[in-house]
Structure 1
Amino acid sequence: MKRNHLVLMILLSAFVFTGCKSSFKKTDDGIVITLNKGDKKTAKNIRLQVISDDIIHVSATPDDKFPNTKSLVTTYKETQTSEWNVSEEHDNVILKTATTIATISLTTGEIIFSDINGKVLLAENKGGGKIFSNIEVEGKKAYTLQQIFESPADEAFYGLGQHQADEFNYKGRNEELFQYNTKVSVPFIMSSKNYGILWDNYSLTRFGDPRPYMNLDQFKLYDKTGKEGGLTATYMINGDSKNIFAERSESTIDYENLETVKNFPKDFPFHNSNIIWDGELEAKETGKYHFILYYAGYTTIYMDGQVIVPERWRTAWNPNSYKFTVNMKAGEKRKIKLNWKPDGGISYIGLKALSPKDTEEQNKLSLWSEMGDQIDYYFIRGNNPDEVIKGYRTVTGKAQIMPKWAMGFWQSRERYKTQDELLTALKEYRQRHIPIDNIVLDWSYWPEDAWGSHDFDAARFPDPKGMVDSVHAMDAKIMISVWPKFYYTTDNYKALDEKGWMYNRAVKDSIRDWISSGYIAGFYDAYSEGARKMFWDQMNEKLYSKGIDAWWMDASEPDILSNASMQYRKELSTPTALGSSTEYFNAYALVNAMAIYDGQRSVNPDNRVFLLTRSGFAGLQRYSTATWSGDIGTRWEDMKAQISAGLNFAMSGIPYWTMDIGGFCVEKRYEQAKEGSEDMKEWRELNTRWFQFGAFCPLFRSHGQYPYREIYNLAPENHPAYKSMVYYDKLRYRMMPYIYSLAGMTHFNDYTIMRALVMDFTADSNTYNISDQYMFGPNIMVCPVYTYKATSRDVYFPESTNWYDFETQEYIAGGKTMKVVAPYERIPLYIKEGAILPMGDDIQHTKEQQANITLKVYTGKDGEFTLYEDEGTNYNYEKGAYSTIKFLYNEATKTLTIEERKGEYSGMIKDRTFRIEFISKDKKKNQIWEVKYTGELEKIKLI
């Protein structure tokens, strides 16, 4: 009896630890803490699961038990059930792995994450930082959630997807996470302290301040005469200050969607108009106000007579957001003027603000979501940013290796209206010997009244299979635009609707699109497994069977009705197969990508899938999917914003990103530009500079509205714009051995191709806010030029290494900022000391092999690089069919070692020539060697 009692006591001490207030239980893969709290606004149960030594999964609920909800984002199959331990010290429980310590307060539930040496990496807010409030949507009861973490002053934050306000380091900033054309929201944040937080929630989410931006009536407002109550809004016909249609007092500037624009003066003629809001703001609090401008057309904002937002433009149908801050004093009046020139018909404009928040609170890491069953996040530790992203992909899935052709150049336009136009464009590239791998067929190849039928309009595309075959005969691939949208008269709509797999609120409300007099359509419910399978089966029957190579998944937000209010957007896409659109608002692009990836691999498991989608979410990389930045504008500020947008998207864990080189939506002055005009000069320079930048992005594609974007349509062949674009296109292909090796690294090493400087130079705090230069792979620093007529720019050369100018081979010491030359035809590129850069022969497409490779060895420091090669278009690499050749440079012995080749694959080049170019600080010592390589170890010494 005593023995049984002793066993019972041992079991209790091993599995259930009790205190005067709270208790915890050890589980197979972690611990569960139960707090004795009656407050339903805070956590009662907190669960920590060990996913790996570096990854801790945290769940929290105010309920008695955890919900049994399957994650859309995560893919890991097992948790770690050993090689970690739990102990109790004072009022804390300590969970310790080989690399990470999580300390949990039994009093508050607050969690502190440390490295193995006890250095704090991240701490939840004092008291735990977990806040719950009840929400009920469509009959389901759940919670609105917030988790707050402490953050030291020297911390920087990156990630959150791709946004267009040209913000980079999110420390102290606010970002609302929802999906929208040009805005891609990914709930992953990466810290300069080498950890990441994956927030597993699909609803509308806010980083930073959890409050929504509020209208200007939060201020005391005065019109231009000083009368309190609102700003003076002056509506001028044709921009004529003497031809005033209406002048009235307005306490808000809130014309941001199809509902609020009804509040404009009735029958106001917007074409060529000008509206000015003028007056004064008086703040009720002292501090920093965060403003957000929502704009289409030409917009400028003045504060106290000074320009605070220089003129920005966006096409009427596709507004953009821009954020700025103003320090204000309570009771102090500040003059404000918003000058707005709509560009076309009824347009959109809004100006809102967040009132001041305590600086310490504003600078914390806070995540708020509208709806969820529980707080659910992953703490991911690493020794560097790459290890953090590796952890992210451990949780959400590995990136696929894109087909090799996808790393080449793509040509697209909005749109090739006939098969002859498409084939003629591709033929022109081949005849001019301009390298190209992919031609893109954008929307509206179908009959006008048959969107979603996946049929081709026979009058314009009389032989779709012959068109595809002709593309292939020219050694290129063809990508086609497919939307999740179906006119309700199509057989495809009817088949999906019969199963209950359509969002048909738009059909019931008779919403018409912009085609001709307008057609009525619905979107399919990609959250339904059956709908995903049927969606693919329809594509397979009509498109994949014709030999289509890749998929352009447009409007995958889903954009059922552009410029609808947030509430109506939810109403248009609910219910989903999993629950309300409020709960599943942000993940549509992820499940839509799953439909195509799983579908294609089910019918052709050997051919690599490639998807390009306008939206995205955490985990997208596992479906061989890239994202592009949507229908951006054709302005220099739009080009610059793509740099920070692309870098943050990459630091959101998804490696493949691209943009419309030159911008999609075109200012009328460019559409109408005449040869020799200043507008034509600027148009060509803008496209040239953008093309130079685009050549050093993970994917390289030109696309946009008229004027046509083919290189030969942008400028004549004797023009510097043409010469520069052809130069960088060819350079991209010469660098293919380097670029495709990076693609291999994204899969095997969980690498990131487009890299903010902070990723490689984290110890150099000067890099924390540099958003306009970046590393392309480990060796090339890219410094885009984004100002009209600029022939120089400032470049920061990170410390801890030195650099070589790619063009001149000039040697530059690191740790300083320099003004560098940037002639029209060249983008500043710099190669890191110690780099080994493999470059191949000139080729016209990636089906051509590059048997001879030049190894550019930039001496001064030890270096290494591994050349990766495989069959390029199939999944044999998953079975081990690939080869690697490792190059090592030793500075002390001045020796390059080419190691023995590892692995093999069908069609592998077994015998090749390596041309080694040693590049030295003293250019006179540069040397060139040639080595016949048969796969055996070779050593070459610099004399």
Structure 2
Amino acid sequence: MKQRSLILCCLLFAVQLFAQNYQKTALGLKTKLQSIDVEVQFYSPSIVRVLKSPQGVAFKKESLSVNKKPQETKFTIQQKGDVVSMKSEKLKVDVDLKSGKISYYTLAGVALLKETESGATFTDFDDAGSKTYGINQLFTLDNDEAIYGLGQQQRGKLSLRDAKINMVQGNTDDYVPFLVSTKGYGLFWDNYSPTTFEDKPDSTSFKSEVGDCIDYYFMVGGNIDGSIAGMRELTGQAPMFPLWTFGYWQSKERYKSQNELVGVVSKYRELGVPIDGIIQDWQYWGNNYLWNAMDFLNPEFPNPKKMVDDIHDMNAHVIISIWNSFGPQTKQFREMQPKGMLLNFGTWPQSGLEAWPPNRDYPSGVQPYDPYNPEARDIYWRYLNKGLFSVGIDGWWMDSSEPDHLDFKPSDFDLKTYLGSFRKVRNAFPLMTVGGVSEHQRAASSDKRIFILTRSAFAGQQRYGANTWSGDVNSSWQSLRNQIPAGLNFSMSAIPYWNTDIGGFFAGAYKKGWGDGTKNPSFQELYVRWLQFGAFTPMMRSHGTDIPREIYNFGKKGETIYDAIAKTIDLRYSLLPYIYSTAWDITNSQSTMMRALVMDFNDKKVVEMNNEYLFGKSILVAPVVNAQYTPETIVKSNEETGWNKNNDANGAKAQAVTFTQAKSTKVYLPGGTVWYDFWTNEKIKGGQEIEKTTTIDEIPLYIKAGSIIPFGPQVQYAMEKKWDNLEIRVYPGTNGEFTLYEDENDNYNYEKGAFSTITFKWNDKAQTLTIAKRKGSFNGMLKNRIFNIVLVNKKKGTGATITSKFNKTIIYNGKAISVKL
């Protein structure tokens, strides 16, 4: 009897011990699994955070990317055998107390993502004298699952399956450790050190060089859009850009005087070619020892205030190059260096002399600053405000925001920053430096929306009013092809604003035997096709070195290449009401402007499609990415070789080419819908590949059935004319909806409700368009306006030309109205 009682007591004690193997918390649970402390926290019903660390080792982690505080979330917790299950109203999380594996499910029990058994590892690591760990976490993916994101890569591929990617920020690679899955979830690996992502048949892993803990977030979104929305909920929403930023931008490396800069805008106005922005590149500060002085010390810029005013008087805007490093003779360098706010490693430029190759006998002494230090960010803004913002500069071109790290030595990672070793926080450099400028400008003024063009990005950067470009890419067809999946993966990393150097940056190879290169047919064809692609990105910006990019360098009106460039710019401006409304959809509803086809179509053929995409939710863009009129030139250069101007010194002149002949290209139209050829209005069933006739001035564009697209007036700049007479094209075949958004264009009053929306709904069965009652108001809002309604068919509303053949002309006064077409 005593023995039986003893056994029963032991069993009860064992059950109690097992039952106490985890601790319920206000956010989730804590437990110890295989010598690892684990905490699972609900940040919302659809977002879960997982923290892991070696048992008993204390750590403190404050995320640089995540600005969401965990919200009170109702959840249940239940144990069955070795598995503890937590359920919110959106997902179920299972923690296996025996194997340590964490698994994620829909409420219906569909498996979304699983860790592998014993998938977390910690390896002792001495990080510049601080004891920490190398960390690794393995997951198991389904064989037929596709994943996207991780920022911008120049791999030329869309899907991340079977990829191994070493994530360290670089000139043309911008890494964001967030991925989305076709199964409807997102995964954010919250670590800033050099990280290797690897997808293999048996596991998918994130392995970071240093980390006091494993820290990742799982979010269920139901689809890719929902997962992106979860990431923005976690790391910040994207604000509205000014309307003028969506117009055409002209730039080059570099305008050498204020007269040249102003003259470019003046020439565009004289020619009647639209332009909204001009960009001043580097060395307006003078020599390299004064690098990034944030002041006009170059005598060719004697009156910067007049320069800015002259540009503004022509209804254009100017942004200017600023860097994340300083020359030794600048005031910033002299103030920061004694305070230990500079990072002493090799960066651009390497010589104090403007020559190539760099003369190492005269080192520039330029050093990046420490943007992790709040006082350093204060100093940075103080000089920026005094030297540039005060004269009316409209925005910032933050170059080398990775930053450039030349002549790399492993010991460079041991350098101390305000937040620890440079190794520990390496990849978050762009987030911190862009964020520093954004937060300071917003605190200084709300009259002008923040606009930052930057070369690198990290998770959460969408909240800072920044548009990232793809770096100093080659002027080659392969590089152009690479830009499409680069931009799409970047967009699926929850950062919606991206662009590229139209024409490619390094173009010296096209000058051989062709003077300045603008008359070389090989470059002309590449440039026009790149421009046509650029018209359907969030920022249309022409830029590069070696060959000038202004339209008048390519010829004159009536000549094929000139006319193709002008036609493309005009098309961009006609779409501004559509583009600006799409931007509001991003800010208001967490949408995405450049959309991989897999985001909108359940069609297996688009899962890895890397040469087509949707611009907004209605326009399918199929850029021409292969040479059709000239031989395809293979060009390879980088930040080192691209600056060697001797490469383009000689060479034979190629034969002249005429661009009048029609060509063709193949286009795949996703299934599940009907499509309309934008240029001809031909109606085509989806789910098939077609042969599309092209000319040098047109690329394949298709409109999804059910789309409603507003077209704006012909203008010379974005805000020249009010949208008081818009063409509204309705593409029938299924029901559709579109919301036209308007506000004051360039301040933050929209955050206070100063905006209006007008929703158009198409009932395909009834052939009726309903224009809803206008919602909201703002200063300067149109009380009455004209909508010219076109029901698109083979005979009416063709192409980009605004036509007078309307089905109905409606005078709209803000009250609801229905139109039978």
Distance 2:327 2:732 in 1: 61
1:568 Cα deviation (Å)? Answer: 5.4
Distance 1:495 1:725 in 2: 47
Instruction: Confirm or deny: 8 A CA contact 2:518 2:548 kept in the other structure.
Output: no
Once the two structures are superposed, what CA deviation does each residue of 1:816-869 show, in whole Å capped at 9, x if it has no partner? 111211211101000000000111111111222221111100011000000111
**Structure 2 residue 674 is matched with structure 1 residue 802:** yes
Residue 411 (1) aligns with residue 250 (2): yes
Q: Which amino acid aligns with 1:900?
A: K
Cα deviation, residue 719, structure 1: 2.2
After superposition, the C-alpha distances for 1:341-385 in whole angstroms (9 at most, x for unaligned) are xxxxxxxxxxxxxxxxxx622xx3211111111111110111221
Q: Is the 8 A contact 1:886 1:901 kept in 2?
A: yes
Of the three residues 30, 33, 37, the one matched with 1:32 is: 30
1:731 paired to 2:571: yes
Structure-2 change in CA distance of 1:142 and 1:420 (3 Å): same
Structure 1 position 566, deviation (Å): 5.6
Structure 1 residue 782: Cα displacement:
0.1
8 Å Cα contact 1:144/1:371 also seen in 2: yes
Quote the offset at 1:920 in angstroms: 3.6
2:324 to 481, 484, 508: 484
Measured in 1, the distance between the counterparts of 2:15 and 2:714 equals 69
Partner of 2:549: 709
Q: What is the CA–CA distance in structure 2 between the aligned matches of 1:862 and 1:190, rounded to whole Å?
A: 29
Q: Which amino acid aligns with 1:864?
A: E
**Which position in structure 1 is the counterpart of 2:637?**
none
Pairing 1:81–2:72 present: yes
Residues 689-713 of structure 1, C-alpha deviation per residue, up to 9 Å, x if partnerless?
A: 0000000001110000121001111
SS of the residue 1:434 aligns to: coil
User: Structure 2 vs 1, CA of residues 678 and 907 (structure 1 numbering), >3 Å: closer, same or farther?
Assistant: closer
Correspondence 1:378 to 2:217: yes
Q: Does the residue aligned with 1:161 lie in a helix, a strand or coil?
A: coil
State the 1:188 CA deviation: 0.6
Cα distance in 1, alignment partners of residues 72 and 104 from structure 2: 19
- Counterpart code for 2:789: I
Select 1:894's aligned residue among 750, 767, 770. Answer: 767
Partner AA of 1:547 in structure 2: G
- Structure 1 residues 378 and 911, CA, compared in 2 at 3 Å: closer, same or farther? same
Q: Which AA in structure 2 matches 1:856?
A: R
Tell me which of 405, 408, 416 is aligned to 1:575: 416
Offset of residue 717 of structure 1: 2.5
Separation in structure 2 between the aligned mates of residue 505 and residue 689 of structure 1, nearest angstrom: 39
Identical positions, percent: 40
Partners of 2:42 and 2:769 lie apart in 1 by: 43
Question: 2:797, 2:781 → 1: CA distance?
Answer: 37
Distance 1:506 1:643, change over 3 A: closer
Cα deviations by residue, 1:21-73 (Å, 9 ceiling, x for unpaired) = 971111111111222x34xxxxx111111111111111111232552211100
Q: Secondary structure of 2:151's partner?
A: strand
What TM-score comes out, normalization by structure 2 length?
Answer: 0.90
1:742 aligns with 2:587: no
Q: Which amino acid aligns with 2:23?
A: K
Corresponding residue SS for 1:184: coil
Cα distance in 2, alignment partners of residues 55 and 384 from structure 1: 14
From 740, 754, 757, give the equivalent of 2:597: 757
Contact 2:42 2:73 in 1 (8 A): no
CA distance in 2, matches of 1:29, 1:545: 47
Q: 1:319-350 deviations in whole A, cap 9, x for unaligned?
A: xxxxxxxxxxxxxxxxxxxxxxxxxxxxxxxx
Asked if 1:824 is matched to 2:707, the reply is: no
1:71 aligns with 2:75: no
In the TM superposition, residue 605 of structure 1 has moved relative to its aligned partner by 2.6
Q: Are residues 1:197 and 2:184 paired?
A: no
SS in 2 for 1:443: coil
Who is 1:643 aligned against? 484
1:158 aligns with 2:158: no
Deviations 1:639-663, CA, capped at 9 Å, x for gaps: 1100110000000110000010000
Q: How does 1:379-778 map to 2 (within 5 A)?
A: 379-448=218-287, 449-505=289-345, 512=351, 515-516=354-355, 517=359, 518=362, 519-561=364-406, 564-565=407-408, 567=410, 569-570=412-413, 574-670=415-511, 672-673=513-514, 680-761=520-601, 763-778=602-617
- Deviation larger for 57-66 or 640-649: 57-66
- Does the 8 Å CA contact 2:510/2:522 hold for their aligned counterparts? no
| Distance change in 2, residues 1:678/1:618 (3 Å) | closer
Are 2:84 and 1:93 equivalent residues in the alignment? yes
Q: 1:366 aligns with which of 199, 202, 205?
A: 205
Aligned partner of 2:217: which letter? Y
Instruction: Work out whether 1:837 is the aligned partner of 2:693.
Output: no
**Count of aligned residue pairs for this structure pair:** 763
| 1:714 Cα deviation after fit | 2.6
Stretches of structure 2 lacking an aligned partner (at least 5 in a row): 1-11, 630-662, 799-804
Structure 1 residues 488-523: Cα deviation after superposition (integer angstroms, max 9, x where no partner): 12222111123221123559x996456355421111
CA offset at residue 427 of structure 1?
A: 0.4
Q: CA, structure 1 residues 172+520, in 2 after alignment: closer, same or farther (shift >3 Å)?
A: same
Instruction: Tell me the SS of whatever aligns to 1:632.
Output: coil
Can you list the C-alpha shifts for 1:608-647, whole angstroms capped at 9, x where unaligned? 1111111110000001111000100000100110011000
Question: Tell me, what secondary structure is at the counterpart of 1:590?
Answer: helix
Checking the alignment, whether the CA contact within 8 Å between 1:919 and 1:927 is kept in structure 2 is no
How far 1:455 sits from its partner (Å)? 2.0
Counterpart among 190, 196, 203 of residue 206 in structure 1 = 196
- For the 8 Å contact 1:621–1:654, the answer to whether it is kept is yes
Structure 2 letter corresponding to 1:884: T
Instruction: Give yes or no for contact 1:671–1:706 (8 Å, CA) kept in 2.
Output: no
| Residue of structure 2 equivalent to 1:344 | none
- 5+ residue gaps, structure 1, are 1-11, 39-43, 210-358
Contact 1:913–1:931 (Cα < 8 Å) also in 2 = yes
- Rate the CA distance shift 1:908–1:923 in 2: closer, same or farther, 3 A: closer
Deviation at 1:560, TM superposition (A): 4.3
Aligned twin of 1:46:
38
Q: How does 1:301-316 map to 2 (within 5 A)?
A: none
Separation (CA, whole Å) in 1 of partners of 2:66 and 2:771? 39
Which digits, 9 at most, give the CA deviation of each residue in 1:859-911, with x for residues without a partner? 11000000111111100111111100000000110000000000011111111
**Matched residue SS, 2:523:** helix
Contact 2:682–2:793 at 8 Å: present in 1 too? no
Greater shift in the superposed pair: 826-835 or 725-734: 725-734
Contact 1:614 1:629 in 2 (8 A): yes
Q: Residue 928 of structure 1 aligns with which residue?
A: 807
Distance 2:346 2:254 in 1: 26
Aligned to 1:119: 110
CA distance in 2, matches of 1:197, 1:145: 17
What is the DSSP-based 3-state SS (H/G/I as helix, E as strand, rest coil) of the residue aligned with 1:584?
Answer: helix
More strand per residue: 1
Q: Does the 8 Å contact 1:840/1:851 carry over to 2? A: no
SS in 1 for 2:297: coil
Which amino acid counterpart does residue 96 of structure 2 have in structure 1? Answer: S
